[in-house]
């Protein structure tokens, strides 16, 4: 997701820098001649700049919702906060819904089931599977690797496309053996999570 932010920031710069430069080249000579600010040209500059910023931010929001790996990454970050003890089950469910990540009928495991799966209340680094796995009814699955240096645990998110946005239907821990049945040498991208 950080890479997407950088890409859209660069896109905004490539659009805004020529626009602002060209506008200022027209505004500055007028100001020097008459010592009055050309209000209409400044208003057009401000409106154009605001339109570009809104368009690029809208495209960014669409991209992070429409691309399955980016939606899964957002869900994985919230799950990592839950596992670290920063969020209890109800707050986790609220954050998933508030971020627009939870589909209707979203399911996750209870805190007790997390402990039974081996998750302890500590901060894990997060890796996301390089592949998106298609399942029935157009749903997709992304797998997560949670490591803390000593142990490695796994989970997956199952997502469905709802109105041009991927929403999480379930987020469930999975064992390494179950993962091997799907793909023997599953590869993961490491995600840079913000510090606690």
**Mean pLDDT across 165-183:** 87
> What pLDDT score does 182 carry?
79
- The pLDDT tens digits of the residues spanning 94-128 come to 999 998 899 998 888 888 888 888 888 788 888 99
Closest alpha carbon to 131 in 177, 68, 76, 194: 68
| CA dist., res. 77 & res. 59, Å (int) | 21
- For the cut 70, the answer to whether the pLDDT of residue 73 exceeds it is yes
- The pLDDT tens digits of the residues spanning 149-159 come to 778 889 999 99
**Mean pLDDT across 68-73:** 91
Considering Cα of 4, then 98, then 195, then 82, what sign does the dihedral take? Answer: negative
> What pLDDT score does 194 carry?
60
| Global pTM value | 0.79
CB atoms within 10 A of CB 176: 11
- For the cut 60, the answer to whether the pLDDT of residue 195 exceeds it is no
- The pLDDT tens digits of the residues spanning 19-61 come to 999 888 988 888 888 888 788 888 999 999 999 999 999 999 8
In percent, how much of the chain has pLDDT > 90? 34
Q: Which helix (H) or strand (E) holds 76?
A: helix 68-83
Joined together, the tokens standing for residue 172 give 């469930």
Which phi and psi (to 5°) does residue 161 adopt? -90, 120
> What pLDDT score does 142 carry?
93
88 against 56, higher pLDDT: 56
> Taking a C-beta distance cutoff of 8 angstroms, is the pair 188, 130 a contact?
yes
Q: CB under 8 Å to 47, separation ≥6 — which residues?
A: none
- For the cut 60, the answer to whether the pLDDT of residue 196 exceeds it is no
**Contacts by residues 191-194 (CB-CB < 8 Å, ≥ 24 positions apart):** 191/73, 191/76, 191/77, 191/125, 191/126, 191/127, 191/128, 192/2, 193/77, 193/80, 193/125, 193/126
Joined together, the tokens standing for residue 169 give 């239907």
């Amino acid at each position: 997701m950080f890479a997407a932010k950088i890409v859209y920031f660069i896109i905004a710069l490539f659009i805004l820098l020529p626009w602002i430069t060209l506008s200022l080249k027209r505004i500055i000579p007028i100001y020097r001649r008459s010592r009055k600010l050309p209000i209409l040209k400044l208003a057009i500059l401000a409106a154009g700049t605001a339109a570009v910023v809104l368009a690029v931010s809208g495209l960014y929001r669409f991209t992070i919702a429409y691309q399955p790996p980016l939606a899964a990454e957002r869900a994985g970050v919230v799950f990592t906060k839950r596992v670290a003890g920063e969020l209890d089950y109800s707050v986790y469910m609220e954050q998933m819904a508030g971020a627009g990540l939870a589909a209707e009928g979203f399911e996750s495991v209870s805190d007790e089931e997390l402990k039974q799966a081996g998750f302890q209340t500590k901060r894990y680094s997060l890796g996301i599977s390089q592949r998106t796995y298609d399942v029935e009814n157009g749903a997709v699955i992304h797998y997560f690797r949670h490591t803390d240096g000593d142990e490695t645990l796994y989970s997956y998110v199952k997502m469905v496309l709802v109105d041009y946005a991927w929403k999480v239907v379930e987020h469930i821990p999975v064992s390494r053996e179950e993962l091997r049945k799907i793909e023997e040498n599953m590869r993961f991208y490491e995600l840079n999570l913000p510090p606690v």
